[in-house]
Structure formats: structure tokens, C-alpha cells
């Protein structure tokens, strides 16, 4: 009885089909492959069936009747093993870090659970608003009463004034004092900067005024000189014109 064997290979080789007797062993199949494909490196290849490597003594009849599919693949060096135990250990660590954060999930209406939680928190906050206002008012009242007690004012009769109004007290608010000093220094620096800027502006205006007055004086002097010279030469010109007229007569 013969068995049809279909051997799946890898590139660049194509699949190989053989028809051999059913009692043919795997090593004999390898020999037939060497005859069919002379350049096939069988010493570096392995035959497998259903993802299981085959022993050289295994017959085709034990793998099936009529038709058997084998796979020819390169031999790969194996490792030391222990990969399954590593996977199990990693799975245990992952399962121990399970989270209960479901804010990104949605309910049957399509709304995110985080949105529902925020809405619930907001509703609870609005419900507790009157109580918070009441507590804040009581705290302000208690603070005011404590301040009145420090000043010696009777809370039951505040119009009577402090019982120790004439006593001297020490002001120990260091924060207020520091802020006051910083404010004073800032005002002082600003005033000094303004005065310095005003002085510079006054000097600049004075320099420009002096330059303009000097130029005006020079212009006036030049005009005066021209007028004087013209006044001095006028009689001479008149006398010359008279002499020319007499000579022509």
C-alpha cells in the first residue's frame, strides 16, 4: 500500500510530492529528497509532522494512511529551557498588579464612569456648602472674640471699650513690618529714579537752550555788522556818484 507524501519546504525551494510505500521510514524519505533535490542540505534540515519532530525510525504508516503532510525546516539551536516557567512567573506578577480603576469604562447609557463620579462629587459638594459657610462664619466669630479678649473688650458690652485701654502694647507682626519696609524702599527708589530723570531732562534742555541762544547771538552780530558796514559806505558811494555827474557836465 502506498502513501502520498506532501513535503512543505521554504524559499527558494518549492513543495515536493512523493508516492512511497506506507512502511517507509523517515530517513528513507530524506534519502528520496536528496535524490529529488541534489543541492538540499539535509544535514541541516529536519522533518516534522503536526509541529512535532520525527525520529528517523518513524514510519509513514504511523503518521496516517493514504496521505501524509510533512514540513521541512532548518534546524535551529535550542536554548537551555525554562521559558515556560518564566512566562508563568511573569503572569503571576501581572495578576498581582491588577487595578480596580474603571474610570475609562462606560455604563449602559454610554457615559464614562469618571464623568458620573465627578457629577456625584459635585452634588455632594453643593449639599455641604451651607455647612461650610456656617463653619466659616463660626470660625470668624471665634477669631473676633479671641481678638476682643486680647484687647480687653467685653464681648457682651463692646461699647464700654477695653478695660486696659491705657496700657502699652507691643506690635509683633513681623510680616507686616517686613512688607511695610519693602513698600517704603520701593517708594524711595521710585522717587529717586524720578528725580534723577528730571535732572537729566533739565540738563538736556539747558544745553539745547544755550546752544540756540549762542546761534541767535551770532546771527544778530552778523546782521549788525552788515548794517554798520552798509551805513558806513553809503556816503562814499553818494559822493562818488556826484563827482561823476559834475565831470560829465
Read off the C-alpha cell for 153. 473688650
Query: What is the per-residue pLDDT across 110-167, written as a single tens digit (0 to 9) for each?
Result: 899 999 999 999 999 999 999 999 999 999 999 888 887 777 766 666 555 555 555 5
Residue 121: which domain range? 117-159
Q: What is the CATH number of the domain that holds 50?
A: 3.10.20.90
C-alpha cell at 235: 556816503
Residue 118: all three cell numbers together: 465627578
- Establish if 29 belongs to a structural domain: yes
Domain presence at residue 126: yes
- pLDDT score at 24: 85
What's the pTM? 0.32
Q: What is the pLDDT of residues 44-97, one digit of tens each?
A: 888 888 878 888 888 888 887 778 888 888 887 766 666 777 887 877 777 666
What is the chain's Cα-based Rg?
Answer: 58
Let me know if residue 181 belongs to a domain: no
Q: Of 131, 159, 187, which residue sits at a domain end?
A: 159
Retrieve residue 155's grid coordinates. 464681648
**Number of domains making up the chain:** 2
- In 3-state terms, what secondary structure has residue 103? coil
Residue 92 lies inside a defined structural domain of this protein: no
Amino acid at each position: 500500500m502506498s502513501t502520498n507524501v506532501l513535503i512543505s519546504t521554504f524559499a527558494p525551494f518549492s513543495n515536493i510530492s512523493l508516492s512511497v510505500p506506507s512502511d517507509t521510514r523517515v530517513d528513507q524519505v530524506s534519502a528520496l529528497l536528496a535524490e529529488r533535490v541534489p543541492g538540499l542540505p539535509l544535514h541541516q534540515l529536519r522533518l516534522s509532522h503536526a509541529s512535532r519532530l520525527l525520529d528517523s525510525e518513524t514510519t509513514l504508516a504511523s503518521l496516517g494512511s493514504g496521505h501524509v503532510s510533512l514540513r521541512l525546516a532548518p534546524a535551529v539551536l535550542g536554548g537551555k529551557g525554562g521559558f515556560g516557567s518564566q512566562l508563568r512567573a511573569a503572569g503571576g506578577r501581572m495578576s498581582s498588579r491588577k487595578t480596580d480603576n474603571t474610570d475609562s469604562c462606560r455604563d449602559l447609557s454610554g457615559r464614562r464612569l469618571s464623568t458620573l463620579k465627578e457629577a456625584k462629587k459635585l452634588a455632594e459638594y453643593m449639599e455641604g456648602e451651607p455647612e461650610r459657610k456656617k463653619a466659616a462664619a463660626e470660625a470668624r466669630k471665634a477669631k473676633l472674640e479671641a481678638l476682643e479678649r486680647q484687647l480687653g473688650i467685653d464681648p457682651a458690652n463692646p461699647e464700654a471699650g477695653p478695660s486696659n485701654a491705657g496700657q502699652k502694647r507691643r506690635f509683633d507682626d513681623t510680616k507686616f513690618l517686613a512688607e511695610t519696609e519693602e513698600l517704603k524702599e520701593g517708594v524711595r527708589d521710585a522717587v529717586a529714579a524720578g528725580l534723577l530723570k528730571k535732572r537729566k531732562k533739565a540738563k538736556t534742555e539747558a544745553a539745547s537752550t544755550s546752544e540756540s541762544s549762542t546761534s541767535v547771538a551770532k546771527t544778530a552780530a552778523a546782521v549788525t555788522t552788515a548794517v554798520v558796514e552798509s551805513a558806513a559806505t553809503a556816503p562814499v558811494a553818494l559822493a562818488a556818484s556826484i563827482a561823476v555827474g559834475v565831470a560829465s557836465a
